[in-house]
Chain A
Amino acid sequence: MQRKDFVVGSALSVAFLGGNASQALAQVASGSPQLPSFGNANDPDNVLVVVQMGGGNDGLNTVIPWSDDQYHRVRPQIAVADGQILKLNDRIGFNPALKGLNELYKQGRVAVLQGVGYPNPNRSHFESTQIWETASPDRPQQYGWIGRYLDKRFPLNAQPPSMFEAVSLGDMLPAALVASHVEVPAIGALNAYGYNTGRDLASKQSAGVLYDGAKAGQSPYLSMIATTARDAYHGGDLLRKQTAEFTNKATYAPNGFAQQLALAARLIGSSAGAKIVFVSIGSFDTHAGQRAQQDRLLGYLGDGLLAFYTDLAAHGLADKVLTMTFSEFGRRVAGNASAGTDHGTAAPMFILGGRVKGGIYGDHPSLTDLDHGDLKFATDFRAVYATVIEKWLGRDPSDVLGGAYPTLAFV
């Protein structure tokens, strides 16, 4: 019989086949002293935070199949030593850099989804990122999966309650958030977002007079532009005013990712009222010298997410926020000659939050039954999106994803 990782089913009923998973099971159970309140899983106030791990994160050195000799055999230069691995059960464990995430896992707040991917995997950063962000492996899609969700949620005549309903923390709007009519601001930094005239205050004031007084005229687009200019002009001040209402109650490291999460917490917890926040960390494109780079980034990731969760919990918001990670692809099973790995396929995703049913979902992909040297996926990423859309955001996922996918039990 093929060994299986234990699988958390509905509620806290746990099914596993073979293996000694009782210890990990006990951890999950003890970390979840109260049964989550499933009745309001799709509360309209629920918040989704998406973490993009850009560059293609090596899944095998993230969730490590430590007891599989093949892992050590094919990765002589970059395998993590057994003694350092944060073991989740008798088969798999976290990269030691993920100690922050491991804390949350032990509290039962983290779902580890194994072997996530899609058919006919594309190994180009650009194309596979487009595929993940538009949820469309077969055809180019104009709008992102979250953009399509927002368009459904807020039809043309139903404006979102806040101009920061959905935000991207970064200078560029990722494809995932491109919508047909719902606007998603891209906020690089709190102080940079706004109409900037340096020290020429008079110019800034005059611009305000001009935008506030702008007349529509007859040109079909002029009034739309004038209104948007007014919102843009005041948006920066509004953002600073609203986010100032919220004080972070956790210590975030001084790296860019952690700082994005600190701002995310303020956007979520203040009257800015963000419901979708997109953050990113990278680059995980570790073709050479992987250990130093990936371990550093995984450290930022795990510690940042722990601080974020701690902050939200201190504000009573942990149950309102679900955080999901993704990367455009995993990496090859075998290491390359430069102590790195090249582009691969399936990889794990993490889902965390106060109402997430922690545990391990799906089997670790086989390291020997491969497709062109790459892992075979077991769970289609669109099933993960469908689960989030239906069970967390309370919408019909087939509307957004253009098809039906089985939902998973992590929420």
Chain B
Amino acid sequence: MQPPKIDTTTDPQVGFRPPGTLDAATALQPYDGRFGTRHAAHLLRRAGFGGSDADVAHLASLGMGGAVDSLLHPTTPDADFPAYPPSDKLYDIKVSHPVAQYWWLDRMLRTQHPLVEKMTLFWHNHFATSINKVPAQYMCGMINLFRDQGLGRFPVLLSSVTRDPAMLIWLDNRYNAKAHPNENYAREVMELFALGLGNYTEDDIKEAARAFTGWSIDAHQQAVFIPARHDDGQKTVLGHTGPLGAEDVIAIIVSQPVHQRFLAHKLLEFFVYSDPEDELIEGVAQVYALSGFDVAKTVGTILRSNVFYSTRAYRAIPKSPIELAIGTLRYLGAQTIPANLVYQLARMGQEPLNPPSVKGWDGGPTWINTTTLLARFNFVNGLIAQTAPGKNGQPAVPAPNVAPDDMVQRLGMDAAKVAAAIVSGVVQDDVTSDVRATIVAYLNSQTPSTTVQNPVPFGPENYQDKIRGALALTLNLPVNQLD
């Protein structure tokens, strides 16, 4: 019997992969189905910040395994980036915040190792610290730490975070001394960083706080351990007793099955979908434990898995503002961050280096409300409308990948073909046929446009503005708010 013909233009999900149940035993097995443009784009959005048509086509050409490997273990060196912003600006309180924020956004935009930067963003939200309390140079240092160690072993990362100056400042652990213990850091390690509420007692926090005593920041802005401030007495944390120090407590914590599930859950939420099944969490927790708490191996398993390429995972996560903004700029081929992007991101609800609290951003559906959606839409509209060179001598933003001239040269002065190319590039055809028709109708509309004196259908007089307008409409589709 012929399988029913599926019209991929009628529903974003149908046709991505046949619907059906996925049993827990095979959910984490490597996916061996078709790996086309939509699969590659899905991977690039989740394991990076999306990209241009060419970026997606390249990834698709590598096949699933090759594509994941290229993201997880890039073999070519990255573009050159400064380790820190220029110090004259980084230490100038008047400009240090935006300087640090743009320093990082630039890297997100231009890096050729997008998964590394995506994990950096993941850890920035996980170990949330804010430039509102922590001086900019330490914030940059912590971002560098996440980049260096974010795909390594979690206990090593947690140990580095424990002695990271930004964290020592943010959660006051630099004041945590034998004579006057401060529980702030120990509490968040248990509640937010490694175990989750309900998986420890108040006594565990008190005892762990004693183990975390002794750290400070020296005159060279480096973390320093001062033995005299450390409490080396007996402590009992999660049932383990001894003269425990920070490393001991970290080892005790990561050995807890509840920690393994905690981190598995967070990785699944970030990469797959927001409400992972218990069996799936358990499966990833096992992978994580068996790998020796290796983040790269765990993430690799997730990105290759059947469940990652399932219909349930496709277009299932609301994009964060940073994902939306960087993804848009990458799609357009921009090489510079727009001068007001930090402000725009703040309006969308995610100012980089400034999460609202130690809990980070809630994310998921909380990204979306009328105010933040308008901020997203108007960010795109403003970006697309920038035809003149940008401010401060920066180049104009909408850039080579979608240049109207090239598009018309390639496709002809044909509204339907142009609309098809845009819809395919921006949202991989995940639209209904009436959306497509509306975009074509816009291209042919005779309502006054920005520069056209005598409105006419899509043609030589107006194709530049019309293509920009169609790009904005497509970028602003509800489905493009989903990763």
Contact = CB atoms under 8 A, between A and B. Distances in A.
Interface residues of B, number: 58
B450 A225 contact: no
B316 A219 contact: yes
14 contacts: A124-B133, A171-B346, A193-B374, A202-B449, A207-B473, A207-B476, A210-B435, A213-B438, A217-B12, A221-B365, A222-B12, A228-B369, A229-B476, A235-B374
Contacts of B435: 210, 213
Contacts of A372: none
A7 to B, nearest CB: 37
A235 B371 CA distance: 9
Contacts of A24: none
A173 B371 contact: yes
Most chain A CB within a 10 A radius of its CB, from B316, B369, B371, B435: B371
Contacts of A228: 368-370, 373
Nearest to A126: B132
Given A196-B378, A225-B478, A218 B473 contact: no
A193 B373 CA distance: 11
A123 to B, nearest CB: 12
Interface of B: 11-14, 130, 132-133, 274, 311, 314-318, 343, 346-347, 349, 356-359, 362, 364-365, 368-371, 373-374, 377-378, 381-382, 385, 432, 434-435, 438-439, 441-442, 445, 447-450, 465, 469, 472-473, 476-479, 481-482
B478 A214 contact: yes
Interface in A204-231: 205-207, 209-211, 213-215, 217-222, 224-226, 228-229, 231
Contacts of B385: 197-198, 200
Given A141-B357, A200-B385, A202-B449, 8 more contacts: A196-B378, A198-B381, A199-B450, A202-B445, A217-B315, A217-B479, A219-B13, A222-B482
A140 interface: yes
B356 A175 contact: yes
Nearest to B354: A126
A218 B482 contact: no
A20 interface: no
A201 B448 contact: yes
A200 B130 CA distance: 39
Nearest to A199: B450
Contacts of A219: 12-13, 314-316, 479, 482
B224 to A, nearest CB: 23
Nearest to A195: B377
Contact of A195 (B317, B362, B369, B374): B374
Interface in A96-141: 124-127, 130, 140-141
A195 B315 CA distance: 24
A187 B375 CA distance: 11
Contacts of B447: 201-202, 205
Contacts of A29: none
B11 A224 contact: no
B347 A171 contact: yes
B315 A222 contact: yes
A130 B472 CA distance: 36
A140 B130 CA distance: 13
Contacts, number: 160
A206 B442 contact: yes
B373 A200 contact: no
Most chain B CB within a 10 A radius of its CB, from A175, A202, A207, A213: A202
A-B CB proximity, top 10 nearest: A126-B132, A202-B447, A232-B370, A206-B442, A203-B469, A202-B445, A140-B357, A225-B478, A226-B478, A232-B373
Contacts of B358: 140
Nearest to A125: B132
Contacts of B315: 217, 219, 222
B370 A163 contact: yes
Contacts of A203: 381, 442, 449, 469, 472-473
B368 to A, nearest CB: 5
Interface stretch (A67-75, A77-85, A178-186, A389-397): A178-186
Nearest to A173: B371
Nearest to B474: A210
A194 B374 CA distance: 7
A232 B476 CA distance: 12
Contacts of A407: none
Contacts of A158: none
Nearest to B364: A221
Contact of B377 (A178, A186, A222, A232): A232
A229 B369 CA distance: 8
A1 interface: no
Given A210-B435, A218-B11, A232 B469 contact: no
Contacts of A214: 477-478
A142 interface: yes
Nearest to A180: B366
Given A217-B479, A219-B315, A172 B469 contact: no
A236 interface: yes
B434 A185 contact: no
Contacts of A127: 133
B20 to A, nearest CB: 13
B369 to A, nearest CB: 5
A141 B356 CA distance: 10
A220 B13 CA distance: 11
A175 B351 CA distance: 14
B370 A231 contact: yes
A206 B381 contact: no
Contacts of B132: 124-126
Contact of B482 (A126, A142, A171, A225): A225
A163 B314 CA distance: 31
A171 B439 CA distance: 31
Contacts of B368: 221, 224-225, 228
A231 B373 CA distance: 10
Contact of B439 (A178, A206, A224): A206
A294 to B, nearest CB: 21
B13 A217 contact: yes
Contact of A130 (B357, B369, B382): B357
A210 B473 contact: yes
B56 to A, nearest CB: 20
Contacts of B434: 213
Most chain B CB within a 10 A radius of its CB, from A141, A171, A222: A222
B441 to A, nearest CB: 7
B373 A217 contact: no
Contacts of B364: 221
A327 B318 CA distance: 35
Contact of B370 (A124, A185, A201, A221): A185
Contacts of A173: 349, 371
A119 to B, nearest CB: 17
Nearest to B12: A217
A15 B426 CA distance: 70
A167 to B, nearest CB: 10
Interface in A282-338: none
B438 A206 contact: yes
B328 to A, nearest CB: 16
A183 B434 CA distance: 30
Contacts of B347: 171-172, 186
A202 B316 contact: no
Contacts of A224: 365, 368
